[in-house]
Structure 1
Amino acid sequence: MWKNPSEYLATATVKYFQRHKGEVNSVALSPDGQLVLTCSDDSRIHVWEAKSGLLKHKVTGHTGPVKSCCFSPDGALFASSSHDCTLRIWTVEKADCLHVLTGHSKSVETVCFSPDSMYVVSGGWDRLIILWEVQTGQQQKIFSGHEDAIQCSAFSTDGLCIATGSWDYTVRLWNVCSSITDRVFEGHKGNVSCVCFSVSGMLASGSWDKTIRVWNSRSGTLIFLLTGHVDWLRTVSFSRDGILLASTGHDRMVRLWDCENGKSIKLLKGVPEVTYTCVFSPEGTLLLTGPMGLCESR
């Protein structure tokens, strides 16, 4: 349990990884914290050993920029989505491609696994959200309702809901069982670029309007409006216990927020490059940011 949030996020970088030959669009950390996954506009996915920084796999197959990547919660697979209108499911052990999933008509901007690793959800410029079964690679459901491109997605921790953020300035909450919009969260004044759930049911969304909104996903009420970034948000990520929220923006800042009072408690600024993504390590002592590296979180 966190004792003193103000002590977290030391400014020392622990490790840098060799760069892709294009913009890094997404970074993921394996559930056991041993591997780092990166994807880039260079159409490649890299799998790294987190401790040594050695490149384990250089994964090719997509024919366009790779926009999003993630590990399955059971650690056996990873998924990627691309501007080539496909998403792919790969094995972690050998980086073999199990499925090439086709169904989107435009760039697939986001992909994420369900908590039980049985499904992936994807969304993109065609304004559709598609739920896929991992084992067979078959489409299970299609969700529609957004009025512009879908930029981001996240499963709730119980796997019953999916949140999506769009260029229509809204966040939508979808009921997985019924395939309908359960709730629409309005208030952002720009494209919604990132969403994430906490274990307690909070839903955070970041936007091009430079703000983060933290919602009660069950009631739909706004809990916090977080301001401080001076350019649009790239990523929001809750710690595993839901007490902390990390955010990165196009302003080259990494911020850490206390989710009990909505206060900004730590700031990394002057980062040499735009930080495109961030995620807490399983034990919560490290914050992985991309393309910068690993930062101490306490």
Structure 2
Amino acid sequence: MPFPTYAKNPALKEHLGPVHVVKYNSSGQYILSGGQDKKILLWNPNTARFIKSYNAHGYEVLDIAVAYDNKTFVSCGGDRTVFLWDVSTGSTISRFSGHMSRVNTVDFNSNASIVASGSNDAKVRLWDTKSSSSKPIQMLEEAKDSVSSLQISGSQIITGSVDGNVRTYDLRMGKLTEDLIGHPVTSVKNSIDEACILVSTLDSTIRLMDKSNGTMLQSFKGHINKEYRVRSCFGDNDVYVVSGSEDGKIYAWDIISGRIVHQLKTREDKVVACVAYHPKNSQMASGSSDGTINVWDSA
């Protein structure tokens, strides 16, 4: 499929302040976004139409994960709380508290029965979405600094930390694998075949790591990522690696050669902190520090 290089107009401009996260639902029909303004917004990416606002966070919203059936989603942020939401009603189903500092990252397991959250308190907490208990069912405490990013993949939880390590917890086997990257990690993403992890770090480098032995298979450079949490992702069934940048651009690399194949300009005075690739076709969304969300389509 062709890479999305044309920004649809108009841009989405309902957020006041930086956008920290954009996520498609599993069908790609809608986008959820969260920002500095404490709001979570539901969008139609094809019409640029704002649909619904979800309001409960007392501080900035830092991450969102959407359940497999699109009926619920989970969010986290600066108020140290994880919220489980009903998409259609806009109400909160559960609130999970226990982190001692801001919560940077959340994810569901495959059937949305478990939520994992990672925090500046260097802890990962696991929550049972079906239980009325407000206490975590498990806590992972190996990180030595903030947990900036995580992903649940089958029985594994992959975490990235400011301490420069990527940790893979195999809960079924009771095994922990630690890969020292050596620079603060801002983003981790599992490949479709689950053989590799895409790791973004604050040395303006993205690394493709082999999960089986911890070796680096490829590196991707050219963007700027030195100060902010900038997220990267795979695109088009892992054909591309895509990332925002602190220079107001979106970069796309060929995953095999590591060569930059596309640079998309937004504005030089803003940071593109988050990107999300459509799960089924050539469309992409990006969120920026000026509060705008751009939807990109192919020609």
Q: TM-score range by the shorter chain?
A: 0.7 to 0.9
Tell me which of 136, 139, 146 is aligned to 1:191: 146
- The answer to which structure, 1 or 2, has the higher relative contact order (CA under 8 A, 6+ apart) is 2
C-alpha RMSD over aligned residues: 1.9
Name 1:132's counterpart in structure 2. Answer: 85
Amino acid at match of 2:34: S
Tell me which of 216, 224, 228 is aligned to 1:273: 224
SS, match of residue 110 in structure 2: coil
Name 1:72's counterpart in structure 2. Answer: 25
Name 2:96's counterpart in structure 1. Answer: 143
Name 1:293's counterpart in structure 2. Answer: 251
Change (3 A) 1:228 1:77: same
TM-score, length basis structure 1: 0.78
Question: Contact 2:231/2:243 (CA < 8 Å) preserved in 1?
Answer: yes
Q: Are 1:237 and 2:189 an aligned pair? A: yes
SS, match of residue 181 in structure 1: coil
Change (3 A) 1:84 1:226: same
Q: Distance in 1 between matches of 2:127 and 2:172?
A: 12
Where do residues 17-36 of structure 1 align in structure 2 (5 Å cutoff)? none
Name 2:166's counterpart in structure 1. Answer: 212
Question: Contact 2:117/2:125 (CA < 8 Å) preserved in 1?
Answer: yes
Q: Distance in 2 between matches of 1:129 and 1:148?
A: 12
Q: Are 1:112 and 2:65 an aligned pair? A: yes
Q: Any gaps of 5 or more consecutive residues in structure 2?
A: 257-299
Structure 1 residue 286: Cα displacement: 1.3
1:145-187 CA deviation, whole Å, 9 max, x = no partner?
1111101111122322111110100111111111541211111
Identity of aligned residues (%): 25
SS, match of residue 246 in structure 1: strand
Structure 1 residue 56: Cα displacement: 4.3
Amino acid at match of 1:284: D
Question: Contact 1:170/1:192 (CA < 8 Å) preserved in 2?
Answer: yes
Q: Distance in 1 between matches of 2:172 and 2:96?
A: 20
SS, match of residue 122 in structure 1: strand
Q: Any gaps of 5 or more consecutive residues in structure 1?
A: 1-32, 35-49
Amino acid at match of 2:225: V
Name 1:258's counterpart in structure 2. Answer: 210
Where do residues 169-188 of structure 1 align in structure 2 (5 Å cutoff)? 169-178=122-131, 180-188=135-143
Amino acid at match of 1:55: K
Question: Contact 1:74/1:116 (CA < 8 Å) preserved in 2?
Answer: no
Amino acid at match of 2:24: F
Q: Distance in 2 between matches of 1:205 and 1:272?
A: 23
Structure 1 residue 238: Cα displacement: 0.4
SS, match of residue 58 in structure 1: coil
Q: Distance in 2 between matches of 1:267 and 1:109?
A: 26
